[in-house]
Amino acid sequence: MQEHECQSNVSAGKIHVLGLDPIKEKLGDKWKRLSGLVHKLFETAIKDAQSPSDQYVVLDELSYALVFHDLSFEEADRICASISTKVCKALFGEQIDEVSVRSVVSAIKNPPLKEDKLDIGWIEDVLERSGSETIYAQSVQSSSKEPVAIVERNKLRPQPSGIEQIKNAHDELGKCGLQLGFFPIWDLHRGTSSALSLKPFRGSANQPRGIGRFPQLEGEPLIKMEIAVLNGANAYATRLAEANQICAVFVPVSYKMLSGFHARIRYITALQAVHARSSTPLVLQIDAIPSGTPAIRIGELSAMMRFPNTKVTLKFQSLRAIPDFDFQLSVASLDGVMPADSNVSVVEKITSDFVRTASLQKVTTLIEELDTPESVSLARHCNVRFGIGTALSMRSFSGLEDIPKFPLSEQSLWKI
Give the model's pLDDT for residue 401.
Answer: 94
Give the model's pLDDT for residue 214.
Answer: 63
Give the model's pLDDT for residue 148.
Answer: 38
Strands 186-187 and 386-387: antiparallel
Give me the helices (H) in 62-200, please: 73-92, 120-130, 162-174
Integer CA distances (angstroms), 286 to 73, 77, 294, in order: 43, 41, 15
Is residue 270 packed enough to be buried (19+ CB in 10 Å), middle (13-18) or exposed (0-12)? middle
Q: Which sequence spans correspond to the domains of the chain?
A: 12-155, 162-415
Tell me phi and psi for residue 221, to 5 degrees: -60, -35
> Considering only CA atoms, which of 365, 369, 368 is closest in space to residue 382?
365
Give the model's pLDDT for residue 314.
Answer: 97
Per this entry, what is the length of the chain? 416
Beta partners for residue 201, in sequence order:
179
- Residue 95 has what DSSP assignment? S
**The domain over range 12-155 is classified in CATH as 1.10.8:** no
Q: Assign 67 to helix, strand or coil.
A: strand
- The Cβ of residue 57 has, within 10 Å, a number of other Cβ atoms equal to 21
Per-residue pLDDT of the chain (416 residues; tens, 9 = 90+): 333 333 333 333 455 556 677 777 778 888 888 888 888 888 888 888 877 777 777 766 777 777 776 666 667 777 777 787 777 777 776 554 444 555 555 555 555 555 555 555 556 555 555 555 555 444 433 334 444 333 333 344 445 668 999 999 999 888 888 889 999 999 999 999 999 999 888 776 566 666 656 656 677 788 888 999 999 999 999 999 999 999 999 999 999 889 887 788 788 878 877 888 889 999 999 999 999 999 988 998 888 888 788 999 999 999 988 998 988 998 999 999 998 888 999 999 999 999 999 999 999 999 998 989 999 999 999 999 999 988 998 788 999 999 999 999 976 665 55
- The Cβ of residue 369 has, within 10 Å, a number of other Cβ atoms equal to 21
> Considering only CA atoms, which of 364, 196, 366 is closest in space to residue 280?
196
pTM of the model: 0.63
**The domain over range 162-415 is classified in CATH as 3.20.20.450:** yes
Whether a cis peptide bond, with omega within 30° of 0, leads into 407 is yes
Rounded-to-integer distance, Cα 302 and Cα 309, Å: 15
